[in-house]
Structures are given as C-alpha cells and as structure tokens.
Amino acid sequence: MSNKKPNRFARIFRHEKKGERTERVGYLMVLPYVLHTFVFLGYPLAFAFVLIFHRWNIYTPMRFVGFGNIRLLISDPLVWRALLNTLYFLLIHVPLQLAVALLFAQLLNQKIRARAFFRASFFMPVVVSGVVVTILWQQLFAFETGLINVALNGLGLTKIGWLTSPNVAMPAIAVMATWKNVGLYIVLLLVGLQGIPTHLYEAAELDGASAWQKFRYITVPALNPTIILVLVLSTIGGFSLFIEPYVMTGGGPVSSTLSGILYLYKQAFVFGKMGYAATIGFFWAIIVFVVVMIQRRVVERTETERM
Amino acid sequence: MRRFLLYSLLAIGALVFIYPFVWMVAATFKPEAEVTNFNLFSNSFSFDNYLFVFRKIPVTRSFFNSLFVSVIVTASVIFFGSVTGYALARLRFAGRSLVVNIALLTMMIPAQLTLIPLYTLVVRFGWINSFAALIVPAMMSSYAALLFRNFFMQIPQSLVEAARLDGCSDLRILFSIIFPLSKPIIWTVALLTFMGIWNDVLWSLMVIRDETKMTMPLVVTLFAVGGGAEARLGAQLAAAALLAVPVIVAYVFLQRHLIESLAASGMKN
C-alpha cells in the first residue's frame, strides 16, 4: 500500500477544505432528509421509467408493452386536445395576469393612504382554497342564475354560456384563475417597483420623458427578473390546472376544458391505467420544462437586444 | 383629479376581489330563490343551508382531520428542514455539497412526473385511506431545507463557536440559539407549508376514499361535484364558506406575515 494515489472513494468524499475536521454529526442530521428524498422522490422518479413501458391496473401483475404507451399517447387526440386547451388557457391567462398585476402594482406604488388595506384585499383570493373560488365562480358563471349573466341581462345584453359553450369555457376559467392568483403577482411586482431608485425617474423627467417612455425604458427593464418570475410561475400554474375543470365542467363541454392533469387523473382513477397515466405525466413534465426554458430564453434575449 | 382616479381604480379593484366573498357568505343565509341576486340581505334569514351541510357531510370531523394533517406536516417540515439546513450551512462533512446539489435538483422536477409512481408506492405501503398517505410523503421538503440553509449561513459563526465552547450540542445550538434569531424564515416556511397542505385536493382525492379520513377541502369538493348538495346552490356556497371563513379569519390576523412570506418565497425561486 505504498501507492500514494488517492482512491476514487476518497476523492468523492474529500473534505470541503483540507485540514478541517469532519463533523460527523452532520451526517446524522442530513440522513432523515436524504432517506426521505430517496424513498419519496428518487424511487418514484426511477419507477416512472418502469411504468411508462408497462400496462398496470395496480391489482393484477404488470404487463410489459414496450413503446405501446408512448405510441398510444402520440395517437391519442385527447392528449393533444388537453395540450391545446392548456395553451389556449395560457394565451389568455398569462398576458391578462401580467397586465392586471402591473396596473395595480403601479397604483399601489403611488403615495397613497391605506396601501396595506388595498394590498391585503387584492391578496385575499390567493390564500383561500381553490375549491372555494371554484364553487363561488361556478355560481357567478351559471347561465340562467349566475350573477354575471343577471347583470348582462339587466344591461340589456344577451346572456353568455360561460361554462357551457366550448369556445368560452376555457377563457372563463382563465379569467377566474387570474382573479384567484393575481394578488401574489401584484405583491411581487410591487416589491420590484419599490426597488427602482427614484432618481432614475427624476433624471428622465428633466429630459422631458413621457409617462409611457418612463414606463417602457425604466420600469419594464428594471422589473425584468420579476416579470420572468410572473411568466414562469403562471405558466407552471396553467399546466397544473386540475381542480377548476374537475369541479366546474368535468373537462367539458366537448373536452374544451380538459387539462393534462385532469386527463391523467381520469386515465389512472376512472380507467385504472397507471402505466398510461404515468406516460401522460412524463409527457406533461417534458412540455412544462421546455416551455419554461423557451420563455426564459425569449425574455432574456429581448432584454439583451434592447441594451 | 388624478388622485380621484387613482383611488377610484383602487377601490374598484378592492371591490372586485372582496365583494364576491361577502356576497357568498351573505347568500348562504338566504332562501334558495334569492341566492341569485346581488342583494346581501334578505327578509327571510335562515341557517337552513348550514343545517343541510352539517347533515350531509362530516364538516367538523374533516376540519379536525385537515388541522391534524396540516399541523403535523408543518411541524415536521420545520423540524427536519431546519436540522438539515443547519447541517448544510454550519457543519463540515464530506458530501455536503452533493446534498445541496441534490436538493436544488429535486426542485426542478415537475410534480406531474412523480405523481402516479408516488401513488403506486403509497398503495404498496398499504397507506390508502390512512393519514400516513397525506403526512409521510410531505414530511420533508427540499425547498424548506434550502431556505433554512440560506438563512442560517448569514448567522455569525462566532455565535455558534461560543455556544460550542460552553459545551452545547448542535441540536441545542440550533433550537436555543439560532431559532430565536430565525423568526422570519420560520414564519415563511410554516405559512407556505401549512397553506400548501391545507388547500391540497388532488393528492387527497387520490389516496383517501373513506369519508371519515377526508380533509375538509376534499369533502367540500366531493359535496359540490358528486350530487351530495342535491343541486342546492345555497348549500354548496355554505360548504365553501365553512371552508373559507377560518382561512380568512386567520388571514386577517396573519396577512402581513403571509404576504411577505409568499412574496419572499417567490423572489427566491
């Protein structure tokens, strides 16, 4: 054993800094976390790759189907329908959310009384359970008796089938989701706005900049990291849509509000297809990952182009 | 003029976000025929909807189920999160940065990927229809461990060293010296965890079918979805109100902490 070459094991577990003593109690302290992560995240992650290639209803033994689930997924019109529905949802939800959040964050950033009250009221739907919001809005959206249609009727306008016509149902849910979540983004953007030094605006005013120019060339660039955050969080939220269509529409009318998670849930718990449901989950995870990456890339690129 | 516009926009905003809740609570005390108008008050005030809801679903039981699950999970996430975070921030041992990297990596995994495999694991453990299915998988969180780690790294090492010279164990140092200095991060982790668990429906829906074990949001969801409400709007709204009111009351007291916690957590993502 005269060979001085350190073995591989020693290299992987080398100390952070040479000559420092190892505090063994550290292992004991991270052990529960590491074990828990291994069992409840590592194992399911690995098992996902097994499930994808099997047909399984949990009660009878698994059957290997090779790429059967993946072929089924590619040719399953409902998967693509769910994806289109989600993109339609995001197309309305994300810009609306950003616009409303920017507007109210700007208003709250003025010198005003009762800022805490206004901030707290915009934030209220964020803390309340999604089920409550969904039950409440289901009533507001109801065709004959919903308050929104009652109001439209009172103004002499025609009633709209908010949850019953295929073209309107998803936008209606997108508006509701905006109402539910926008408070969080108002607060995030307000924090961002408060971090912008006022002398930038004063200098711009001396140069005769208009309100729009100040917003476009000072506020928006300074808020860029927060705007990315709003985009990413609301996109991830859109891909996790479940309780709203589950309670309000069951995915209808004619699958127009079917979401990825709702479809996955149905495949697993209505049809007992665990392998196929896991495949949908896998597909959905890839899509979320890719969309979020593209978003970041696009926002960062437009940022560098402007500079 | 400009101020007038400013305040009227803000007031309209506040009304849009608060009025629906007020209307919802008011509607639950009205007879069914009057639910569908804008008035907040009716001549025939009644508790009928609530009596109906309490007769149909185990409201009290599910409330305490939710409370039990949420309190245990929150306490566990704080305990293990801070212990892990302390070791990762303050102790030197081989493989420490590996654990930090694993924690960072786990946060990038979309939840959809592990949802079904985790369910099959819970089935294999025999946890369907037991609180273990709701509690155990949620007992630890990478996010909490990292939040604690980042916070603890800012605490001066001299404090830790001084306590060591006095012969304190690491757990003593963590809970009696560092914890009192860490109130903001404990609030953040506690509120985020509690809210996440309290409001969850999807996972509970997957693992609990026995009504006596259900959490409150699940009971209310199934009441609204599966004909239990017999299409009575007032009753559905009453169930929703029973679920919302404790949260709103807690929110009124904790709103500053809650808003700041959620904002801080968003920023750190």
pLDDT digits (tens, 9 = 90+) for A172-198: 999 999 999 999 999 999 988 988 888
Entry field: residues in chain B: 269
Residue at B150 is within a domain: yes
Residue B226 forms part of a structural domain: no
Q: DSSP character for A97?
A: H
Domain A79-306 top-level CATH class:
mainly alpha
- Per residue in B71-105, pLDDT tens? 999 999 999 999 999 999 988 888 899 999 999 99
Number of Cβ atoms within 10 Å of the Cβ of B85: 29
Identify the three-state secondary structure at position A54: strand
At residue B161, the pLDDT reads: 86
For A130, nearest residue in chain B (alpha carbons): B199
**DSSP result, B52-98:** HHHHHS-HHHHHHHHHHHHHHHHHHHHHHHHHHHHHHHH---TTHHH
d(CA B181, CA B156): 11
- Cβ contacts of A251 on chain B, cutoff 8 Å: none
CB contact under 8 A, A278 and B83: no
Q: Of the candidates A42, A31, A235, A296, which has an alpha carbon nearest to the alpha carbon of residue B114?
A: A42
* Rounded (5°) CA angle B66-B69-B73: 135
Please indicate if any CB of chain B lies within 8 Å of the CB of A146: yes
Instruction: Give the mean pLDDT of chain B.
Output: 90
pLDDT in tens, A245-297: 999 998 888 899 999 999 999 999 999 999 999 999 999 999 999 998 888 88
**CB atoms inside a 10 Å sphere around CB B230:** 9
Q: Which residue in the set B92, B206, B224 is minimally distant from A135, CB to CB?
A: B224
Q: How far is CA A208 from CA A152, A198, A212, in A?
A: 44, 16, 12
Interface of A with B in 256-285 (CB under 8 A): 260-261, 264-265, 268-269, 274, 277-278, 281-282, 284-285
Domain of B173, CATH number, reads 1.10.3720.10
- How is residue A154 written in tokens? 């009172």
Q: Nearest-CA distance from A107 to chain B in Å?
A: 7
User: Would you state the pLDDT for residue A1?
Assistant: 41
- ipTM score of complex: 0.90
User: What number is the average pLDDT over the span B153-167?
Assistant: 87
- Helix or strand or coil: residue A257? coil
Counted residue by residue, chain A has a size of: 307
Which residues, 6+ apart, have CB-to-CB distance to B233 below 8 Å? A139, A145, B27, B32, B35, B36
| CB-CB under 8 Å, A264 with B115 | yes
Q: What share of chain B is helix, strand, coil (3-state, %, to 5)?
A: 75, 0, 25
Partners of residue A265 in chain B, C-beta under 8 Å:
202, 205-206
CA of A288 vs chain B CAs: smallest distance (Å):
8
Instruction: Identify the band that residue B3 occupies on the pLDDT scale cut at 50, 70 and 90.
Output: confident
The whole-number average pLDDT for the span B151-175 is: 88
Residues of chain B contacting residue A12, judged by C-beta atoms under 8 Å apart: 95
Assigned domain for B253 exists? no
| DSSP classification of residue A215 | I
A 168-227 residues inside an 8 A Cβ radius of B: 179, 183-184, 187-188, 191, 226
B18–A124 C-beta distance less than 8 A: yes
Determine if residue A185 is left, alpha or beta; phi over 0 gives left, psi from -120 to 50 gives alpha, anything else beta.
Answer: alpha
Residues in chain A with CB shorter than 8 Å from the CB of B198 are 129
Residue A306, pLDDT above cutoff 70? no
| pLDDT of the residue at A17 | 47
Is there a contact between B147 and B185 (Cβ–Cβ < 8 Å)? yes
B chain contacts of residue A136, beta-carbon cutoff 8 Å:
20-21, 24, 237, 240
Q: Print the domain residue range for B132.
A: 63-184
Question: What are A107-115's contacts with CB under 8 Å, separation 24+?
Answer: A107/B6, A107/B9, A107/B10, A107/B13, A108/A186, A108/A190, A108/B10, A109/A190, A109/A193, A109/A194, A110/B6, A112/B6, A112/B7, A112/B10
Q: How many CA atoms lie within 13 A of B165 on its CB side?
A: 6
pLDDT digits (tens, 9 = 90+) for B188-210: 899 889 999 999 999 999 999 99
Over residues A99-144, the pLDDT tens digits come to 999 999 999 998 888 888 999 999 999 999 999 999 999 989 988 8
Whole-number Å distance between alpha carbons of B102 and A176: 36
Whether residue A231 lies within 8 A of chain B, CB to CB, comes out as no
The residues with which A63 forms a beta bridge, in sequence order, are A55
User: What domain count does chain B have?
Assistant: 1
Chain A closest-CA separation from residue B18 CA (Å): 6
Beta carbons of A128 and B24 less than 8 Å apart:
no
Q: Is the Cβ pair A129, B136 closer than 8 Å?
A: no
Q: How far, in Å, CA of A44 to CA of B38, rounded?
A: 49
The more confidently predicted of residues B233 and A243 is A243
Cβ–Cβ of B240/A135 closer than 8 Å?
A: yes
CA distance A252 to A168: 11
For B7-45, the three-class secondary structure string (H helix, E strand, C coil) is HHHHHHHHHHHHHHHHHHHHHCCCCHHHCCCCCCCCCCC
DSSP 3-state of A30: helix
Contacts of A239 in chain B (CB under 8 A): 110, 112
Whether B105 is covered by a domain: the verdict is: yes
Q: Give me the total of CB pairs closer than 8 Å, taking one residue from chain A and one from chain B.
A: 272
The answer for A 99-118 residues in CB contact with B (under 8 A) is: 103-104, 107-108, 110, 112, 116-118
| Side chain identity, residue B182 | S
- In whole angstroms, give the CA distance from residue A234 to residue A179: 12
pLDDT at B65 over 90: yes
